[in-house]
Chain A
Amino acid sequence: MERRTGSFYVLALFFGLFVLFLYGPILTIGLLSFQGPRGGLTFPMNGVSLHWFRDLFEEQAVGDIWGAFRRSFALGLMVMVTTVVVSVMAGLAFRKRFWGSGLVFYAAITSLVIPSILISLGVGLIFNQLGFRVHWATSGFGAQLTWTLPFGLLIMFAVFNRFDKSFEEAARDQGATAWQTLRYVVLPIIAPSLIGVALFGFTLSYDEFARTLLTSGSYNTLPLEVFGMTTNVTTPVIYALGTLTTVFSFVIIGAFLLGAWAMGKRRARLGSDAGQGL
């Protein structure tokens, strides 16, 4: 093997600093959330306690964060399932190069790059003028899909661009119907990438702020609740909340990544079932 050059160590140092830059602040508030009861928003630590975490469980101290958490979680699951299903269907559609596919594609890209506040404002205005009440599960749900679906679609493009068509041709040659080819050949092959789509769907919804702002109605999602707290809470309780939801995010991300990893392992262990007459 070649020897490492000097530039390797410089770049490695740069990378290390970048990672510190990414994670340093969040670790800091993780530490500060264990402030003593009389501690403030910055160092030094004024004792060590679980005081601020305990505060989170008292309604009057912080408002309805548990309700907000439940809503965000439910909404995240709804968006996740919808994103996976709709993205896969759209991914399959785009392979057919149907008439007008370019139009849908550019709409999806627009959806990704449009300033989020426009979605928020536009959806809010439509609901308002039609006399519907905005609610996180209707207008909020739709507004969030405009953010998660393009990501799902782009992942599906990446997946299908690398997809070996001969698997499908083989299935068809053996007499499989279009549905059987999809169900027993295509879907199992792309399954691990669907975990990725699901991860994007859930986490982007769970953390979404700008598109939900004017579309969630009177019941806040968690990010909206947290943002509300930034204007009137001046104690480390906000760090405790930040730490808790970040840990929750990490657990979710870990679970998804582990799932994808386990699926890959299983596939490597069992190998192909070609010729097994299944």
Chain B
Amino acid sequence: MQLKNRHILGWLEAAPLAMVLLGFLIAPIVMIVIVSFWGATEFSIYPAFEFDNYEFLFGSPVTYRVFGATFKYAFITWALTLAIGFTVAYFLAFHVRSLTMQIALFLVCTIPFWTSNIIRMISWIPFLGRNGIANQTLISWGVIDEPLEWLLYSDFAVILAFVHLYTLFMVVPIFNTMMRIDKSLLEAARDNGASGFQTLVHVIIPLTKPGIMIGTIFVVTLVMGDFITVRFMSGSQRANVGRLISNDIGLLQYPSAAATAVVLLCTVLIVIAILLRFVNIRKEL
């Protein structure tokens, strides 16, 4: 009886969460899968069971190019955010000595997360624009004669914005795992004659792996699912899968958008499944 109670009470307490997820996560996914088999005219969509949307999707070279671009964005952003995020977290965890200071600096890194992404993207315009600060500075230094055209509305701008927006998704989990490393392990490494670099490679990095994995999952999924950063920072000149979907939505081609969405979801889930082999999330919180 006691055991049964535990399950019933547990479900009662988890019910609100389960209801929200059922209504606004599971049901929408099911709906998208269903609609991906529907047909569409220019003005409306109609129920059907046809594979036209998928045939068109897999038959079009655009699809492969756009998926390629999406992976490219994800990979470059991942590499940069990992390098920057790891360095920042390493500094915070092992070089800042007072806990108060650690918390204060950690908050400095996290506060932008609670402000608007759109506005953080807009705020790059005066910096990167044709007559922006970057170009003006480089010209006044004599590095270049003409303004660089590829600063804003380019792959460069897209990746810069991704790194700007998402690095803290690396900093937070990596810092979290680093703070739980037993400091006596570092002492032991040093006492045994390891250099700072050897300690980093053979002690800190292996122990930080779970944090790196969680950060990786965040960054990769955020970048792969993005459509607004690419649209805004490339001035609509570049595409990723998210934009493919949002363009179809704009044209009211919901079935085709849904088919692309299904493929995107599968891709993201496969990537996560691979990453999850390396870490047990629940143990790491």
Q: Give A contacts to B, CB under 8 Å.
A: 1, 5, 7-8, 11-12, 14-15, 18-19, 21-26, 28-29, 32, 41-43, 85-87, 89-90, 92-94, 96-101, 104-105, 107-111, 113-119, 121-123, 125-126, 129, 142-143, 145-146, 149, 153-154, 157-158, 161, 199-200, 203-204, 206-207, 209-210, 214, 223, 226-227, 230, 238-239, 242, 245-246, 249-250, 252-253, 257
Contact = CB atoms under 8 A, between A and B. Distances in A.
Given A18-B88, A96-B6, A114-B268, A105 B115 contact: no
B88 A209 contact: no
Residue among B18, B107, B119, B232 facing the most chain A CB atoms (10 A cut-off): B119
Nearest to A257: B107
Contacts of B29: 114, 118, 122
Interface of B: 6-18, 20-21, 23-29, 31-32, 35, 84, 87-88, 90-92, 95, 97, 105, 107-109, 111-112, 114-120, 122-127, 129, 131-133, 136, 164, 167, 196, 217-218, 221, 224-228, 232, 242, 245-246, 249, 254, 257-258, 261, 264-265, 268-269, 272, 281-282, 285
Given A25-B120, A41-B125, A93 B27 contact: no
Contacts, number: 263
Nearest to B241: A115
A89 B258 contact: no
Main secondary structure of the interface of A (DSSP, over half): helix
A86 B132 CA distance: 46
A242 B285 CA distance: 34
Contacts of B127: 24-25, 28
Contact of A129 (B8, B31, B122, B126): B31
Given A226-B119, A249-B114, A116 B225 contact: yes
A93 B11 contact: yes
B228 A28 contact: no
Given A92-B13, A252-B114, 5 more contacts: A42-B125, A113-B217, A116-B225, A149-B21, A242-B116
A149 B20 CA distance: 9
Contact of A115 (B88, B112, B131, B265): B265
A90 B107 contact: no
Contacts of A146: 20-21, 24-25
Contacts of B8: 98
Nearest to B19: A86
Given A98-B11, A250-B111, A11 B31 contact: no
A139 to B, nearest CB: 8
A90 B88 CA distance: 33
B28 A203 contact: no
Contact of A203 (B114, B119, B120, B124): B114
Given A43-B136, A122-B27, A209 B117 contact: yes
A14 B90 CA distance: 11
A121 B285 CA distance: 31
B169 to A, nearest CB: 11
A127 to B, nearest CB: 10
Given A21-B164, A101-B10, A118-B264, A245 B116 contact: yes
A118 B30 CA distance: 11
Contacts of B107: 257
A228 to B, nearest CB: 10
A180 B129 CA distance: 61
B28 A125 contact: yes
Contact of A85 (B16, B87, B232): B16
B85 to A, nearest CB: 9
Contacts of A118: 28-29, 32, 225, 261, 264-265
Contacts of A145: 20, 24
Contacts of A1: 97
Contacts of B164: 21-22, 25
Contacts of B258: 121, 125
A93 B7 contact: no
A42 B133 contact: yes
B20 A207 contact: no
A122 B226 CA distance: 16
Contacts of B245: 117, 121
Given A86-B17, A126-B31, A113 B119 contact: no
A14 to B, nearest CB: 6
